[in-house]
Chains A and B, each alone.
Chain A
Amino acid sequence: MTLNDLAPLIPLMVIAVSSVIIMLGIAFYRSRAFSGLLTLAGIAVAFITLFGVQGTRQVTSLLILDDYALFYIGLILAASFVVALLSSDYLEGRRENIEEFYILLLLSTLGSSVLAASTHFVSFFIGLEILSVSLYALIAYTRNELNIEAGVKYLVLAAASSAFLLFGIALLYGETGTMEFSRMSSGISAQGINKGMLLTGFALVLTGVGFKLAVAPFHMWTPDVYEGAPAPVTAFVATVSKGGVFALLLRYFIQVDMHAYPSLFGAVAFIAVASMFAGNLLALLQKNIKRILAYSSIAHLGYLLVAFLAGGVMRVTAVTFYLVAYFITTLGAFGVVTMLSGKERDADAVEDYQGLFRHRPWLALIFSAMLFSLAGIPLTAGFIGKFYIVAAGAGSALWLLVIMLVINSAIGLYYYLRIIVVLYAQPGHSEVSAVSSLPLTGSLVLVLLTVLLLWLGVYPEPLIEMIHRMTMRF
């Protein structure tokens, strides 16, 4: 490792250093605004320095900063920026000492960014631990009963899934003698390899990753944690944490060809179908917005896995575009929940939204746009994303998976539309409508997200172009 190697790591170092600066700053001067501004500045500077990284830079065997990694890190940073903006007003009055929230937020962003750039199991695991450990604290941050329950659940399950992951990594290392993704693929195709052990290794790694991505049958924790966590943190778990892990999964299986292992392919296909059905069918039974969004995120990860299973360059385009759309939509939906939440509890019951259009028309319209995008209605980014996934699946002749996806989109439509109907119904009696005024920053963020959502839905070419350029150099 030389000084030359450090240059491409500047974006990651900026995040780490700004978290330390905030920590030291708190020791002298405690102020929510100060810590919040430092966080936003840190993320913004890190984002700008991303453009300074030229070409593909491999930093030791652990990290690579190519266009793919830079794109995903950029996406993760943008999402963290939005979460930081949303959480500043949300946390006010919910507990004392909210400054530390920003340190944890920055460090978990760092963990997720490391995942997006990992080419080695060691950096993968360390990135994942930085991400998960900060999430334990973030989920339980406001310290009410629901929070702490969700935090403990996440702690136990994430720790157990890390154990599976480590065991899988150990088996893969034992069989191939390397932990680098690129060398592992040649190790796998070598003569005299023990396929049983490799497959067990893959299965265990997939179990560990499946927990983090919350795909069926490893999805049990999702609704409870989504419901219990503070709304902005839920947005963070749904976007930043899953985005980083998915970026890593995609990179790993581009370098290690999954199609050589039919049973592995079958297992992932099963997970995809199970996630779609589990997510959509269980969402039908829910009366809590956060839980509905949780189940919907399980289903969306299932859709993503369909694109993931398709071969070729097309899948990177499809997955990346879908993730961008999913990020915008999820942040927007949880942003609305954040804005409406009173101090006693989050606005998570469906009744809280009854007749929202009458007293908050703009918010209702924004929420409708987000739900339409989740359902994949045209003119939203969600539609284009789903279109690309179907195209990728059809291009690889994964007809069964594509048919499952279409059936599930139809089921999903039902519960999204049900919420939209409630939004425009006669107002009910809910204390949530009594929230006096909406914070300005949050409103601006939501408007911006909606504009982005519609823009990508109507004119997706610039983003598609960008993703194409990124995959060209892969």
Chain B
Amino acid sequence: MLAEGIFIYLAAAITILSVLVITRKNPVHSVITMLVLFFHIAALYVTLNAEFLAAVQVIVYAGAILVLFLFVILLLNLKEEAVARRYVGPWPLGLMAAVGLFLAIIVSLDSFVAGPKGAFTTEVIKAETNTKALGKILFTEYLYPFEVVSIVLLVAIIGAIVLAKKRLRS
């Protein structure tokens, strides 16, 4: 009963906050609302026993990414943009896409009760906790792709520098 109550509160809060994020005219308000939203999502992860995801959500999203957002908004000093017309296309199209996706998810999740299949069933994860299971598989089976992700970071760094600086000192 208590768990259900918490879930209903979180679900409702997440929905309302998401709508608020995209409807605020002032980008700073949007970002602050998003911060609250991210904490609610983290709480939802905790109730689902996904403590690792919850920690990542708070540290990476709420901590790092949102601060970056705020910095960018403050640096750009968006006074005019704050009230300007938003760059959003025709809303019926967006609504159609959203309803379509919603229906697809409802249909697909309708009978999703069995829990994850494969090697990581609910019992296995309960026995050794999320963090441990994730760490184990990340540094054994997926060690190679984990290392290769550094190339994605390398590309991103080079790309950002090349685009941001007109002239690199030679």
Which residues does A use to contact B, with CB under 8 Å?
1, 16, 23, 30, 60-62, 95-97, 100-101, 103-104, 107-108, 110, 122-123, 126, 129-130, 133-134, 136-137, 140-141, 143, 151, 171, 173-178, 187, 192, 194, 196-201, 203-204
**B144: interface (CB < 8 Å):** yes
Q: In the docked arrangement, what's the CA distance between A171 and B110, Å?
A: 13
Q: Inside 8 A of B119's CB, which chain A residues have their CB? A: 177
Contacts of B166 in A (CB 8 A): 95-96, 143
Whether B155 lies near A104 (C-beta < 8 A) is: yes
Q: In the bound complex, do residue A97 and residue B162 qualify as a contact, i.e. CB atoms below 8 Å apart? A: yes
Q: What separation, in Å, do the CA atoms of A100 and B143 have in the docked complex?
A: 29
Report Cα–Cα, A61/B51, bound state, in Å: 28
A141-B162 CB under 8 A given contacts A122-B142, A126-B148, A187-B117: yes
* A-chain residues with CB within 8 Å of residue B116 when the two chains form the complex: 173-174, 177
**Per-residue 0/1 for B104-130: is the Cβ within 8 Å of any A Cβ (1 yes, 0 no)?**
110111111010111110000000000
Residues of B within 8 A of A143 (CB): 163, 166
Is B94 interfacial (CB 8 A cutoff)?
A: no
Size bracket, chain B contacts: 35 or more
B6 to chain A, nearest CB (A): 23
B76 at the interface (CB under 8 A from A): no
Tell me whether A103 and B145 are in contact in the complex, defined as CB-CB below 8 angstroms, given that A137-B163, A196-B108 are known contacts. no
Complexed CA–CA distance, A464 and B142 (Å): 37
Contact B112 A194 (CB under 8 A): yes
Question: Nearest chain A CB to B43's CB is how many angstroms away?
Answer: 21
With a cutoff of 8 Å between Cβ atoms, the chain B residues found around residue A123 in the complex are 145
**In the complex the two chains form, is A126's CB within 8 Å of B149's CB?**
yes
- Residues of chain A within 8 A (CB-CB) of B112 are 174-175, 194, 197
B167 and A97 contact, CB distance less than 8 A: yes
**In the complex, what distance in Å separates the CA atom of A103 from the CA atom of B160?**
13
A348 shortest CB reach to chain B, Å = 22
Contact A177 B118, beta carbon cutoff 8 Å: yes
Q: Quick one: given A103-B158, A134-B159, A141-B162, are A200 and B117 in contact (CB under 8 Å)?
A: no
Q: Name the A residues within 8 Å of B167 (CB-CB).
A: 96-97
Within 8 A of A (CB), among B135-165: 141-145, 148-149, 151-152, 154-156, 158-163
Question: Distance in Å from the Cβ of B69 to the closest Cβ of chain A?
Answer: 15
Q: By the criterion CB–CB under 8 Å, are A203 and B159 in contact?
A: no
Not counting A104-B162, A174-B116, a sample of 4 additional A-B residue pairs whose C-beta atoms are within 8 angstroms of each other reads A173-B116, A177-B116, A187-B117, A201-B108
A-B contact pairs, 30 of them (CB 8 A): A1-B143, A1-B144, A23-B158, A62-B145, A96-B167, A100-B161, A100-B162, A101-B162, A103-B158, A104-B159, A107-B154, A110-B151, A123-B145, A130-B155, A134-B159, A137-B155, A137-B160, A137-B162, A143-B163, A171-B108, A175-B112, A176-B117, A177-B117, A177-B119, A194-B108, A194-B111, A196-B107, A197-B108, A197-B111, A200-B105
The CA of A220 and the CA of B155, in the complex, are separated in Å by: 26
Quote the shortest CB–CB distance from B124 to chain A (angstroms): 12
A62 to B163, Cβ gap below 8 A? no
Q: How far is the CA of A198 from the CA of B118 in the complex (A)?
A: 15
Q: Is A16 within 8 A of B151, CB to CB?
A: yes
> Does B170 sit at the interface, judged by CB under 8 A?
yes
Please determine whether B144 and A96 come into contact, CB atoms closer than 8 angstroms.
no
Query: How far is A107 from B143 in the complex, measured between Cα atoms in Å?
Result: 20
Contact residue among B108, B118, B151, B162 (Cβ-Cβ distance under 8 Å from A200): B108
